[in-house]
């Protein structure tokens, strides 16, 4: 059994150690082995993440659609650059075979980002609904 990696959480682009005592296990579905632990963040950590996301949304929402699409395509390139690593992690967590993991990864990347315009429009509508309903 390998050492279990304790993960950090991300706020405003920075990876941080949580102050929580509670961590949730991430398991390899094919073996049941715990492969990592993720923090069940504190209320303060969650509030900081929400505040950072709210602040980021202000500039994102005023950005042109063309610029947003450029960012999504850059994100797609990051996914492609780490395709093999992401495929193995997904295969472990979801209990897929290594043969199936490549197909799953390729389809996931190709299916989710070639039409980011619709995704952005949908995402903006969801954010507007969330903000106006609170």
* Mean pLDDT for back-to-back runs of 10 residues, the chain (134 residues): 86 94 90 91 95 93 89 84 81 71 50 49 50 47
Secondary element (H or E) of residue 68: helix 65-81
Distance CA 101, CA 127 (A): 32
Distance CA 125, CA 132 (A): 11
How confident is the model at residue 65, as a pLDDT?
87
How confident is the model at residue 133, as a pLDDT?
47
Q: Hey, where are the domains in the chain? A: 1-62, 63-134
Distance CA 103, CA 88 (A): 11
Q: Would you tell me how many other CB atoms lie within 10 Å of the CB of residue 68? A: 18
């Amino acid at each position: 059994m390998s050492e279990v990696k304790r993960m950090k959480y991300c706020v405003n682009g920075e990876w941080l150690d949580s102050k929580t005592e509670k961590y949730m296990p991430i398991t390899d579905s094919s073996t049941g082995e715990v492969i990592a632990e993720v923090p069940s963040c504190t209320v303060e950590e969650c509030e900081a993440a929400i505040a950072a996301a709210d602040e980021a949304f202000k500039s994102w929402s005023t950005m042109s659609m063309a610029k947003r699409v450029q960012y999504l395509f850059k994100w797609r390139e990051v996914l492609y650059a780490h395709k093999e690593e992401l495929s193995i992690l997904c295969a472990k967590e979801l209990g897929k075979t290594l043969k199936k993991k490549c197909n799953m990864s390729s389809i996931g990347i190709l299916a989710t980002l070639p039409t980011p315009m619709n995704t952005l429009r949908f995402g903006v509508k969801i954010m507007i609904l969330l903000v106006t309903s609170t």
